[in-house]
Amino acid sequence: MISVEDALDALFSLVTPLPKEVVALTDADGRVLVEPVTAKRDQPPFAASAMDGYAVASCAPGETLEVIGESAAGHRFDGQVGPGQAVRIFTGAPVPGGATRVIIQEDTERDGDRIRISSDPETATHIRPAGADFRAGFQLDAPRRLWPEDIALLAALNADRVSVSRRPRVALISTGDELVMPGEAPASDQIVASNIFGLSALFTRAGAECRVLPIARDSVTALREVIGLVDDANLVVTIGGASVGDHDLVAKVAGELGLERSFYKVAMRPGKPLMAGRLGGAMMIGLPGNPVSAMVCGHVFVCPVLNAMQGLPAEPTPLSAAPLSKPVGPNGPREHYMRARWKDAGLEIEDRQDSSLLTVLSGSDALVVRPPNDGPRAAGELVSYLPLRRIPSLG
């Protein structure tokens, strides 16, 4: 058995980065930008008003000024504003020459073409200088995964098309006589295949294009046939059949088909019977069948591999630190990824850690990572964790 760290290194050494492609900005969310994008002009391109009000050269509390024109967003006022004068202005409009500040309209009283400044106007200038957001030459660096906020920035940079990594093509294969697809009627000794759907959702979020192949039944012929359906995948992920039972055929069949095995078995919990190698032109990762094991390995191994394929740095999924809200006993010899949820400003490790419990995983906020042979930990002690849910605004 090798450590999680060594397994990740071995996986990264099997990765071939994918070529780039150009996509419309509307298709770029979640993709990995591989070429930097540079601003060709300042934003805002002119000094702009931050408020609705009046642009003035100067004014004193209680003074009366003459309104000589209007500057609206998209319609600048071309003249100059001088002492004793004001230009009606709206949020986002260019500030006219000569103006030093914008008086918000709440601090004025309008009477025909004159305004009277209140006795106590706000002192802020309410002017956004040209280039306050970015200057011509500003660069959005690559490689980076594009989030909605980056898409907004790219649009502001006037990029309608961007260079991103091609999506890794992932073929997902479930194995087992006991499995039926969701929606089908299971026999009394069958269950519904769940892993591929969770994994496919996870990998799609990691930028992959997933193809779910038919379930491979527990026979050499069936498994060979389904593996034969993999055509242009960059990564083949099998689920189940990885352990030592009589019906666990993945290692045997993949070996017969020419798998150059990199490693088998990792000192972690859950996820011990993980296998990886190169099969023809693709990388192969054999995940354990237990649903929680498969998902945990998806987070710990497959997502970093997909990131590296897309040109991101070959790095483990970053961990954070938080206090425990309840004590936990000592850990065994394998690195343990324990399901936990936020409680009382800390992480509470779930009592039930069996790797078949999807209800526990689905209700968890984090995987607390316990190093091999870690001692007991008291409430309040800091532990490392891998966050499972990252965007609170999405629920």
Residues binding ligand MOO (CB under 6 A): 269-272, 288, 290, 293, 355
**Cβ-based nearer residue to ligand LQZAQKY5, 267 or 386:** 267
Measure CA of the first residue to CA of the last residue in the chain; give whole Å: 38
Look at residues 76, 59, 60, 77 and name the one whose alpha carbon lies nearest to residue 68: 77
When CB distances are held under 5 to 8 angstroms depending on the partner's kind, the choice from ligand MOO, ligand LQZAQKY5, none that residue 241 binds is: ligand LQZAQKY5
When CB distances are held under 5 to 8 angstroms depending on the partner's kind, the choice from ligand LQZAQKY5, ligand MOO, none that residue 96 binds is: none
When CB distances are held under 5 to 8 angstroms depending on the partner's kind, the choice from ligand MOO, ligand LQZAQKY5, none that residue 191 binds is: ligand LQZAQKY5
**Cβ-based nearer residue to ligand LQZAQKY5, 65 or 173:** 173
When CB distances are held under 5 to 8 angstroms depending on the partner's kind, the choice from ligand LQZAQKY5, ligand MOO, none that residue 304 binds is: none
* 392 burial level (CB within 10 Å; 0-12, 13-18, 19+): exposed
Q: In which element (H, E) is residue 11 found?
A: helix 4-13
Strand pairing partners for 88?
54, 70
Q: Minimum distance between the CB of residue 360 and ligand MOO, rounded to whole angstroms? A: 13
**Nearest position to ligand LQZAQKY5, beta carbon:** 289
Q: Minimum distance between the CB of residue 235 and ligand MOO, rounded to whole angstroms? A: 20
Site for ligand LQZAQKY5, rule CB under 6 A? 174, 176, 178-179, 191, 193-196, 239-245, 248, 270, 272-273, 288-291, 293, 355
Given a contact cutoff of 8 angstroms between Cβ atoms, the answer to whether 162 and 28 are in contact is yes
Look at residues 107, 104, 106, 97 and name the one whose alpha carbon lies nearest to residue 68: 97
**Cβ-based nearer residue to ligand LQZAQKY5, 186 or 380:** 186
Given a contact cutoff of 8 angstroms between Cβ atoms, the answer to whether 165 and 34 are in contact is yes
Q: Minimum distance between the CB of residue 177 and ligand LQZAQKY5, rounded to whole angstroms? A: 9
Look at residues 201, 197, 221, 218 and name the one whose alpha carbon lies nearest to residue 209: 201
Q: Minimum distance between the CB of residue 175 and ligand LQZAQKY5, rounded to whole angstroms? A: 6
**Cβ-based nearer residue to ligand MOO, 269 or 370:** 269
**Cβ-based nearer residue to ligand MOO, 307 or 355:** 355
**Which amino acid makes up residue 312?**
L
Computed on alpha carbons and rounded to an integer, the radius of gyration of the chain in Å comes to: 30
**Cβ-based nearer residue to ligand LQZAQKY5, 248 or 348:** 248
**Cβ-based nearer residue to ligand MOO, 5 or 184:** 5
What is the distance between the alpha carbons of residues 8 and 315, in angstroms, rounded to a whole number? 8
**Cβ-based nearer residue to ligand MOO, 71 or 293:** 293
Q: Minimum distance between the CB of residue 388 and ligand LQZAQKY5, rounded to whole angstroms? A: 19
Q: Minimum distance between the CB of residue 280 and ligand MOO, rounded to whole angstroms? A: 27
Tokens 């779910």 sit on residue: 212
DSSP letters, 230-260, are --S-SEEEEES--SSSTT--HHHHHHHTT-E
- Angle, alpha carbons 325-328-333 (nearest 5°): 140
What is the distance between the alpha carbons of residues 307 and 309, in angstroms, rounded to a whole number? 5
